[in-house]
Amino acid sequence: MKLSKLYTNRPEIFTDIEFDQGLNVVLAEIRLPENRDRDTHNLGKSTVGRLLDFGFLAKRDARFFLFKHFDRFSDFVFFLEIELGDGSYVTVRRSVADASRVAFKKHFLRHQDFSRSLEREWDHYDVPFERARDLLDSYLGLHFLKPWHYRKLLGYFLRSQEDYGDVFQLRRFAGAHSEWKPALAHILGFDGALVEEQYAKEEELEKEETKAATIRQELGPEASDLAKIDGMLLLKKKEAERKQAEVDAFDFRRQDKADTKDLADSVDVQIASLNARRYSLMANRKKITTALQEDQILFDPEDAAELFSETGVLFAGQIKKDFEQLIAFNKAITEERRGYLEEERQEIDADLRSINSELSSLGKRRSDALAFLSETDLFAKYRKNSNDLVTLRADIASLERQRDALHRLQDLRSKVRGLKEENARLVGEIETNVEAQSAADDSLFSRIRLYFNEIVEEVIDAKALLSVRVNQEGHLDFSAELLNAAGNATSADRGFSYKKLLCIAFDLAILRAHLSEEFPRFAYHDGVFESLDDRKKENLLEVIRRYNALGLQSIITLIDSDLPKTSDGEMVFDPGEVVCILHDEGDDGRLFRMPPW
């Protein structure tokens, strides 16, 4: 798969771009001196890549310039001609006004113009967006990528300026790692399906753990013992059966006996005990209150000095100072003691409130029991026992719900244990696969590694290492590092220019390693020479030309100030390699010959 042509229905505004099989250059010339020091020039150099992505059916984004400035582009229709692996072509038609409907036409001659073709002349017309993506995927026939869609990995061959920040994680991969790591692992020669399965298993595990946590929270700590709940349920059911039998038979003798025993053995004893406890607490509280009232220092040195002065006795100087220090010391002790006493009184008050509440409850229980025992009206006892039966059944229903929830919790715990074991097995298999592919000299990953290092070494005379490992969470970590003379990783790859070089080397190495398979054969790199010195630019251009000779297509964009400075001052590109020239001398020099937006 290569790019063949990009054009629109408005050739007077957008000039057709016809791509060559090898090197294709989009060159922006800064001809006006006042523009040479500007960072951006709005000529459309980087826009070419965005339009290619639009032709490859990128999803509609309100921030995308075609839709952000819809009033300017609403009447544009874009056509992308793609060369397929068998030498035929497919043209994708997509309009701005109705970007969710797509048309396709397959043909056998390159550089065609279907901008005026009628609807009946297209093989497929007005195809809904998602179906259009699947249809284009089948046209492209990139079988090596299966089961992943062509768009999953397209970003590695359409690198924008925003995609040079990380070799592996593209800007479009802002979501979960599970969205892109399995596919990347696959094209690097690892078992991507295994990686995808592990992510799916981990997601399932998290969902089941969340369900279990929710049930635990709903049950609360007191309802976590299934054996205890089963026992309580058994007793409650037995009691309900007895109650029902008594109500059916109008026989309440057992209840009378039970209430009498409960009054004698339980209620009265508890009331007496609580009353004794309350008496003791109230006595202690009274002592504390008295102590707090007595802890007052009534002696005032100022009043004493005035009294002594009236009687002619000297009370000043050291004597007064000693009294003041003594009073301060006693105040400190008293305040600390008052604090302890206040705390103790507060605790006593809380205990008293609790005891009073419990006594009130026991008193009502005692009163109800006495009323039941003294009640001669059988219908009143019937109503009382019927109400008790309703309460029992409500308790039984609640306990059964708790028991069912605990059974579900046990099932979930069992499932979680199983999922953890499966996840651990998958992580182990991934580790085995990574180790095997990394160690094998003839593996696809080893070839990509060698090509990657070869490109970097040829451009900057430094070795580079591509590596993959399984981290502590059981996920793949990809890394690309520059090595120093001792073979240790350096921080040079953190600079933007070297990071960009690593991205370009990675993309080219992948393409070369897959030359024998049904795989993309092109790479688009925006601003390819920016930030590199002239010698490294020449080296990189040599690498690109060599890869073109292998059968790969390159589309690169640059401004003329980034061109390598040759000794003879000649143009480094052949005329046929420059497929689009942009300049800053008016609107005619822009990609879209219109005022900037």
**What is the CB-side half-sphere exposure of residue 368 using CA atoms within 13 A?**
13
Contacts of 355 (CB under 8 A, 6+ apart): 274, 277, 278, 281
Amino acid occupying residue 226? L
DSSP summary character for residue 550:
T
Measured between alpha carbons, how far is 116 from 543 in angstroms, rounded to an integer?
40
- Establish whether the linkage from the previous residue to 147 is cis, with ω within 30° of 0: yes
Work out the burial of residue 260: count CB atoms within 10 Å of its CB; fewer than 13 is exposed, 13-18 middle, 19 or more buried. middle
Positive or negative, the CA dihedral 400, 402, 408, 413 is negative
Say how far apart CA 401 and CA 404 lie, in whole Å: 5
In this prediction, the residues of the chain whose per-residue pLDDT falls under 50 are 251-252, 263, 298, 315, 372-373, 375-378
Distance CA 147, CA 153 (A): 12
Structure tokens at 289: 């209150």
Closest CA to 446 of 428, 464, 466: 466
Closest CA to 511 of 148, 145, 149: 145
pTM above 0.85, yes or no: no
* Residue 117 contacts residue 38 (beta carbons within 8 Å): no
Indicate the angle between helix axes 318-374 and 301-310, nearest 10 degrees: 130
Q: What is the CA radius of gyration of the chain?
A: 43
- DSSP letter string, 199-255: HHHHHHHHHHHHHHHHHHHHH-GGG--HHHHHHHHHHHHHHHHHHHHHHHHT--HHH
- Eight-state DSSP code of residue 60: P
Residues 221 and 400: their CA atoms lie apart, in Å, by: 17
Rounded Cα distance, 188 and 482, in Å: 19
Q: What is the pLDDT of residue 377?
A: 47
DSSP 277-340: HHHHHHHHHHHHHHHHHH------HHHHHHHHHHTT----THHHHHHHHHHHHHHHHHHHHHHH
CB 168 within 8 A of CB 499: no
Q: What are 360's two structure tokens?
A: 């009130």
DSSP per position, 441-472: TTSHHHHHHHHHHHHHHHHHS--EEEEEEE-T
Stretch (H or E) spanning 173: none
Q: Can you read off the two tokens belonging to residue 430?
A: 């991934």
